[in-house]
Structure 1
Amino acid sequence: MSSPDGGRPITATEAARRWDPWTPSVVAARLASCPAPWAVAGGWALDLFAGAISRAHDDIEITVPRMDFPQIAAAFPEYEWDVVGSGELWPYALAASNPELHQTWLRDPFTGAFHLDVFREPHDGDTWICRRDPTITLSYTELIRTTANGIPYLVPEVVLLFKAKANRPKDHADFLRVLPLLPEYRLTRLNSWLTQLYPDHPWLTEIYAPAVVPTTAE
């Protein structure tokens, strides 16, 4: 990746110290009038799908079509934005046009705390395009579901597809927790995408593994 000028390094330690994530309900309240098709992503999206909080979250991520990001920014006029990638941080104006950088952190200009991570995603009109494989697409009407109290979130198979790349312990735990909740068509979709992107991924052996039923002693 060709990095823009004007960035500065940011370590994982510094990022963790400065993150003070909002909750999905706080984000949804701020974006209640935003017309862009945004949705909660990452681990929080899986919690919204499952209907229960599974663990603490170090951050909160939402996704929006790249061209619609200004509508998100307009809802937070008192904050500033930084573009993040490859261990560097840029003021939004210096890196917004770089197509390889998509993470955008909302920053309190007075405290320096980060409260929200916005993924500016590729799209073709009303169709989402996976940045890791442009042949994987969904209409935004398929991509986003909404909780009973009105919080939009990404469908779980898309969240798990992105989590599969790193497959950290928390990602695998998220996968195992959500797996029994997925209907067949979502399992089929996830299986197809994983096979396409990561044909040797260990999750492929678990998607259709038979459930182990514990036996009881006579």
Structure 2
Amino acid sequence: MTNELGSWSPMNPDEVTHLLGRAGVPWWIAGGWAIDLHLGRQTRVHEDIDVLVLRPHLPRLRERLGGWDLHAADPPGTLRPWPVVEELPLGVHDIWCRPTPAADWCLQLMVDDLADDSVDDGADGGTGGEQEWVYRRDPRVQRTWRTLSGPASSPQRSVLAPEVQLLYKSTTPRAKDEDDFAHIAGVLDSSQRTWLIEALQLSDATNVWIEQLRVLTSP
């Protein structure tokens, strides 16, 4: 895929797992791939691949991507180089990654925040497990960050819970987001649908997905 910000040759989930598997901090396959991995089948072509990460863990992930060419979407819709010595500004949530400046983009890091950024690295069972992930479009929507992993996760690779991914897709959904919702909404269990309904009621009370989810949840 080519757009005004450059060409894409996205990695697949297995390649991402090989790249980030030893980063020592949590990360989650996100975007459309999170939906397809939950379904257990690929429903469409994926023009990019998203990986959700937590802001306090960026230094460790940056080390894992040592030597790569990383650009921050700052402001959104544009890209600028992200120097190694710079702490990513709090308002920046999107990093494009490629092995060299001459290569195609192949990985997109989506940076989310915590209610308390003093989280540990998540790898040793420390107290960081109690801290809350914050939905960046409405900080009233929170959940313990360890619960971000959906049923498609494995010891080698975490996959973002489908209800969380749908929440992100719910804002001005594109055709592919509507397709993803149509594929996955009926597969969600009652607790996943209930969480998504409640999150949407807080963040976007007029969203048309609310009623569709209610219908699916009704006996």
TM-score range, shorter chain: 0.7 to 0.9
Alignment partner of 1:141 out of 141, 146, 154: 146
Q: What CA distance in whole angstroms lies between the structure 1 residues aligned with 2:65 and 2:81?
A: 16
Q: What CA distance in whole angstroms lies between the structure 1 residues aligned with 2:50 and 2:173?
A: 18
- Residue correspondence of structure 1 range 1-218 to structure 2 within 5 A: 13-15=3-5, 17-84=6-73, 85-93=75-83, 96-123=87-114, 124=116, 125=119, 126=128, 127-145=132-150, 146-148=152-154, 150-209=156-215
Deviation at 1:142, TM superposition (A): 0.8
Quick one: percent identity of the two aligned structures? 27
Which blocks of at least 5 consecutive residues in structure 1 are unaligned? Answer: 1-11, 212-218
Deviation at 1:192, TM superposition (A): 0.6
The count of residues paired between Structure 1 and Structure 2 equals 199
Which blocks of at least 5 consecutive residues in structure 2 are unaligned? Answer: 120-127
Aligned-partner SS, 2:186: helix
Paired residue type of 1:25: D
Deviation at 1:189, TM superposition (A): 0.4
Paired residue type of 1:117: Q
Structure 1 contact 37–140 (Cα < 8 Å) conserved: no
Structure 2 contact 24–60 (Cα < 8 Å) conserved: yes
Under a length normalisation based on structure 2, what TM-score does the superposition of the two structures give?
Answer: 0.84
Deviation at 1:210, TM superposition (A): 5.6
Aligned-partner SS, 2:179: helix
Q: What CA distance in whole angstroms lies between the structure 2 residues aligned with 1:150 and 1:168?
A: 31
Q: What CA distance in whole angstroms lies between the structure 1 residues aligned with 2:185 and 2:9?
A: 29
Q: What CA distance in whole angstroms lies between the structure 1 residues aligned with 2:216 and 2:70?
A: 46
Structure 1 contact 83–95 (Cα < 8 Å) conserved: no
Answer 1 or 2: which has greater strand percent.
1
Aligned-partner SS, 1:64: strand
